[in-house]
Amino acid sequence: MRFGARWCRQRRMEAASEPVPAIRIRDLVKRYAPTGKAQKQGGGKLALDGVSFDVPQGQIFGLLGPNGAGKSTLINTLAGLVMKTSGTVEIWGHDIDRDVRNAKASIGIVPQEIVFDPFFTPAEVLENQAGLYGVPKAMRRTMELLRAVHLADKADAYARSLSGGMKRRLLIAKAMVHQPPVLVLDEPTAGVDVELRRQLWELVGELNRDGVTVVLTTHYLEEAEELCDRIAIINHGRLIANKPTRELVDMAREKIVVLTLDRDVDVAPQHPVFLKSVISGERQIEIGYDKDRMNAGEVMSLVQGQGYAIVDVSTREADLEDVFVTLTSQPREDG
């Protein structure tokens, strides 16, 4: 099955003479209108504080950040659901203020929440959406899309009878009815079990191979590491990283030693040469160290020197999660 490869290829060729990014964001600021106490103080939450980045065409682009970082605000700005305070946003070369129609036609958004009228069938859900986007009947691809998301056999079932995973797949099909070249998924696998997560990853991969540029937000670093070509991290409304996934992972020069102690401890042992030292489980601590400067044996000696008895040990390379924790742990004073 294809998600509109022909169309996307054509659009890519059109863009080839002028290689515009799939999404271009410059100095994006969003300050929510103040309420309550903040109103009296003339404040209001600064959710996006001058964010600038490009999403290159054809990529799977991950947008990461802790809770409240500003990811949903950014996506809702792209979707036209949040009015930005200032800055510019272009989707497939179309400015979201000056060229609303083309900007909207160029993007499909899969929301975090599952929202359907339970009495419509998947086929009707897609037909209604196509109607909303003004897709002429002859150009609608309802069955093709349902096949793409492996729901062809459920075309005429009530949406309420679908499992959670099926509903998520239907949401993806719904976002694709107008064949946008850019698809944005807001936490597509939040609260989804491992098997289903795999299925959704495969679907995202198929879409991308068909030429669709995919942007996804996620809390799962494993997901970003596995799926994304490039990752941007926002924290406190600011962009703190924007790199190819490989480079971001390589930033983790540290190695982690996991030690099991003979008893529970209230505080993890500290030493100036440890990059981090945290309690990670029952009787377990994790210590990060610079692998170019020392080895696990030296770390263990330092821990034992502080009176701890080690009963088990393992080491691992730092992963994206470690980079993420390091990058997002710097506090922000204002906002």
Q: Which of residues 33-52 bind ligand ATP (CB under 6 A)?
A: 45, 47
The SS3 assignment for 38 reads helix
Q: How many residues bind ligand ATP (CB under 6 A)?
A: 11
Q: How far apart are CA 318 and CA 287, in angstroms?
A: 11
Contact characters 218-257, ligand ATP, x per CB under 6 A = ----------------------------------------
Tell me the CA distances in angstroms from 79 to 24, 108, 182, one per residue in order. Answer: 14, 8, 11
Residue type, 333: E
- Footprint (CB under 6 A) of ligand ATP, residues 8-37: 32
By CB under 6 A, residue 189 contacts ligand ATP: no
Amino acid at 91: I
The stretch among 2-10, 60-68, 120-128, 170-178 that binds ligand ATP (CB under 6 A) is 60-68
Rounded to 5°, the CA angle 255-258-261 comes to: 150
Q: Which stretch binds ligand ATP (CB under 6 A): 64-72, 87-95, 173-181, 278-286?
A: 64-72
Smallest separation (angstroms) from ligand ATP to the CB of 216:
13
Closest CA to 180 of 132, 206, 137, 213: 213
Beta bridge partners of residue 316, listed in sequence order: 256
- The 3-state DSSP composition of the chain as helix, strand, coil percent (nearest 5) reads 35, 25, 40
Task: Return the number of the residue (67 or 306) whose C-beta is nearest ligand ATP.
Answer: 67
- Of 65-73, 137-145, 175-183, 247-255, which segment contacts ligand ATP by CB under 6 A? 65-73
Of 24, 71, 94, 178, the one binding ligand ATP (CB under 6 A) is: 71
Query: Under the criterion CB under 6 A, does residue 64 sit at the interface with ligand ATP?
Result: no
Residue 252 sits at φ, ψ, to 5 deg, of -80, 85
Q: Which is nearer to ligand ATP, 111 or 181 (CB)?
A: 111
State the Cα–Cα distance between residues 303 and 149, nearest whole angstrom.
52
List of residues contacting ligand ATP (CB under 6 A): 32, 45, 47, 65, 67-73
